[in-house]
Amino acid sequence: MVPDVLFEHIRRLWLSNVAPLSPRDCAATCLFAFRQCDLFHVGMLGDGLAAAIRSDGSVLSLLEDKSQGFSNITSALSPDVSSQNWCYMSLPADQCTAVLLCTDGVSDDLDNADGFVTGLVAAYRPLAATSASRHLRQMLENWPTPRHNDDKTIACLCREDATNE
């Protein structure tokens, strides 16, 4: 799928889902990951973290650069968003073992995003989905919030046939 077409499709779906509310009142970060044929597509608009773990253990991350200090102005899903505002990557599905998405309520507190991604996936991959979900919920409810108390959401996709090496 061509990224520009994908971004426009997401924008149109979002506009139809927020109606009849004013789109300007519903601006939001957007994180996504999906598999289409032999590719994983991962993207982000706004802040947060979108990361993929490759078969060799390396991590590919999309993370908003906040090195210039905190700014509450970020790109958001809105009627005026353009393809230049999105971060996007795709990789062959057979080279991707897991994808992790999290909101800025989690990502802003990370000193080592790649280590967090690999550690979280390694810890929760062996668990049944309901058990992993329960443990993650407890982790998020007890999350220390040194910088803010923003929402904290994590979504993780793991390839079932990937080995735990």
Domains by residue range for the chain, with CATH: 3-158 (3.60.40.10)
Mention every residue, 6+ apart, whose C-beta is less than 8 A from residue 152.
102, 103, 105, 106, 140, 143
Q: Which of 64, 75, 52 is nearest to 155 (CA)?
A: 52
Q: What pLDDT does residue 146 have?
A: 60
Per DSSP, the three-state class of 84 is helix
Contact 42, 88 (CB under 8 A): yes
Q: What pLDDT does residue 96 have?
A: 96
**Tens-binned pLDDT, residue by residue, of the chain (165 aa):** 678 999 999 989 999 999 999 988 888 889 999 999 999 999 999 889 999 999 999 999 998 766 555 555 567 788 788 888 899 999 999 999 999 999 988 998 899 999 999 999 999 999 999 999 999 999 988 888 765 667 889 999 998 775 544
Q: Which of 39, 30, 37, 33 is nearest to 12 (CA)?
A: 30
DSSP tag of 111:
S
Q: What pLDDT does residue 150 have?
A: 77
